[in-house]
Amino acid sequence: MFFKVIVLLIIFIFLYFIFFKRKNKKPIYKVSKNYKNQQLKTYADQEKVDLIESEANDLQKAHEIPPGFLEFNIAFSKDLNKEQNIEVINIAKKFKKPNPVLLKLINDGFEPNELFDLIRSDTKMTAKVLNAVNSPLFALRTPITSIQHAIIFLGVNAIKNIVMQFTLQDVMKFDVPQQERAYQKLWIASYVACAFSFLLAKELGRENAAELSTRCLLCYLGDMAMLSNNALLADDYLLSTSLYQRIKSSQDTYGYNSAIVGKTLAQEWELPRSIITGIGDSLLPLSNVNLGSDVSNDTVQDNLLCYIACRFGDFFAFDNVKDLSSISGLGQHENDPIEFYYLQRKIELSGFQQINRLFENPIFIRKVSTLIKNIKDE
């Protein structure tokens, strides 16, 4: 009897030891967005978020996260030292204020006849718009011969944004052929972004669809200014460098990024406050930084919508992506672009899950295909 008790006791200790070790063994996770989002929901304070990302950093190879990405943060104007701040201001001051028509286009809603009259009053602008709509960017079967025809065919918002792009181009200087080619990529990216954001906002029932479309176009203002100021940056756009690589390289080298430059330039040009703020916050979804607890969900959702639209513009112009297949997961899948790594957490925190459902809607996908079927990279 005593022997049986001893045996049972040994077995009990053995089983307890196995259970205890298994319970306390640190699980090996593959670094996926699902793991990251689930863990980030559990921890509210930044210190614990940093701990999670530190653990995830040890397993980067499983997810092929770019080196340094989990420690990366977006820089803001307040982070600049005196020399960096002066440099950004000098970049902004190099450019004259754009034609007053830009402010009118940004601030006013236009009926087709009003936009027609505005363009027609400037013969140079009329020629530019007609050349643009008949360029290889739009695979039109029949030429467009008048501004009125262009407005009817492409819509008020599309033509307005084309006029705004040319207005911006007038203040940029490109002395090197690579700069001009890179600018053309940015031109295409900004056009696709603002067209896509307009459709996206309309489908989501946002009342400020036109404003968001304009903001998306102007979110490329900093890229254009930095490119114009430094020809060496052309390769960042011509060689399909990712947004993360461009921003990290800029911050490591200069201490600032395109959002800081774009915001400063918008301030110099006295653009509307909402546009200035939108440009300044345009890169936030790339990192784990939030807009702040005092910011409304609508503002956060607008920021996310514009970020998604601009990334689609980037992928279209720089990576030759012509459909939604590569971004439709919006960060839910392990093979989604690294630019969407934090996106799902921000979508959930702002209550914007309807955008996930929209990207799964076949009708919306067909509308996007229709939108871009006549657009192609030159």
**pLDDT tens string 284-303:** 999 988 776 678 889 999 99
Q: With a cut of 50, say whether residue 127 has pLDDT above it.
A: yes
Give the closest residue to 246 by CA, choosing from 318, 187, 174, 188.
318
How far apart (Å, rounded) are the C-alpha atoms in residues 194 and 204? 15
Mean pLDDT of the chain: 79
**DSSP code of residue 340:** G
**Cα–Cα distance for residue pair 363/68, rounded to 1 Å:** 39
4 vs 60, higher pLDDT: 4
Provide the pLDDT confidence category of residue 22 given band limits of 50, 70 and 90: very low
Interior/surface letters 51-72, b for 16+ CB within 10 angstroms, e for the rest: ebbeebeeeeeebebeeebbeb
SS3 per-residue string spanning the chain: CHHHHHHHHHHHHHHHHHHHHHHHCCCCCCCCHHHHHHHHHHCCCHHHHHHHHHHHHCCHHHHCCCCCHHHCCCCCHHHCCHHHHHHHHHHHHCCCCCCCHHHHHHHCCCCHHHHHHHHHCCHHHHHHHHHHHCCCCECCCCCCCCHHHHHHHHCHHHHHHHHHHHHHHCCCCCCCHHHHHHHHHHHHHHHHHHHHHHHHHHHCCCCCHHHHHHHHHHCCHHHHHHHHHCHHHHHHHHCCCCHHHHHHHHHHHCCCCHHHHHHHHHHHCCCCHHHHHHHHCCCHHHCCCCCCCCCCHHHHHHHHHHHHHHHHHHHHHHHCCCCCCCCCCCCCCCCCCHHHCCHHHHHHHCCCCHHHHHHCCHHHHHHHHHHHCCECCC
Q: Output the pLDDT for position 34.
A: 35
What is the pLDDT averaged over residues 343-367?
92
Decide if pLDDT at 92 tops 80.
yes
Instruction: Say yes or no to pLDDT of 334 above 90.
Output: no
The percentage of residues in the chain with a pLDDT greater than 90, rounded to a whole number, is: 39
Residue 150 to residues 137, 138, 145, 330, Cα–Cα distance (Å): 14, 12, 8, 33
Task: Kindly report which listed range (119-128, 130-139, 257-266) carries the lowest average pLDDT score.
Answer: 130-139
Give all domains of the chain, ordered by start, each with its CATH number.
76-97+171-372 (1.10.3210)
**37 — pLDDT class (breaks 50, 70, 90):** very low
Query: How far, in Å, CA of 352 to CA of 338, rounded?
Result: 20
Residue type, 42: T
Helix (H, G, I), strand (E, B) or coil at 255: coil
CA distance 61 to 203: 38
Residue 40, pLDDT > 50, answer no
Question: Residue 111, class by beta-carbon neighbours within 10 Å (0-12 exposed, 13-18 middle, 19+ buried)?
Answer: exposed
Average pLDDT for residues 54-71, to the nearest whole number?
A: 59
Residue with the bigger pLDDT between 135 and 222: it is 222
Task: Determine contact, residues 322/372, Cβ cutoff 8 Å.
Answer: yes
Return phi, psi of residue 100, to 5°. Answer: -55, -20
